[in-house]
Amino acid sequence: MLWGLAAGGEAGARGVLTLLRDELEDAMALAGRPSLAALGPELLARGPAAAAPNESYEDPDLRKGP
């Protein structure tokens, strides 16, 4: 937002907001969600960074030799 404001004044700031809105609409369409109200926690994926200390996301089959 600040970059748009600094680079193009009010028009630049509006452009940044338009871009963010368009990207959100595209992401929602790809997720099959027609509105913000349709978004929920089921769309979130738990990845390695969010893993509990005792959990492992390593695939045991990858450690096997040929």
pLDDT in tens, 28-64: 999 899 888 998 888 887 776 655 555 555 656 656 6
Q: Which two tokens stand for residue 38?
A: 């349709």
DSSP structure string for 5-65: HHHHHHHHHHHHHHHHHHHHHHHHHHTT-SSGGG--GGG----GGG--TT-----GGGGS-
pLDDT in tens, 7-24: 999 999 999 999 999 999
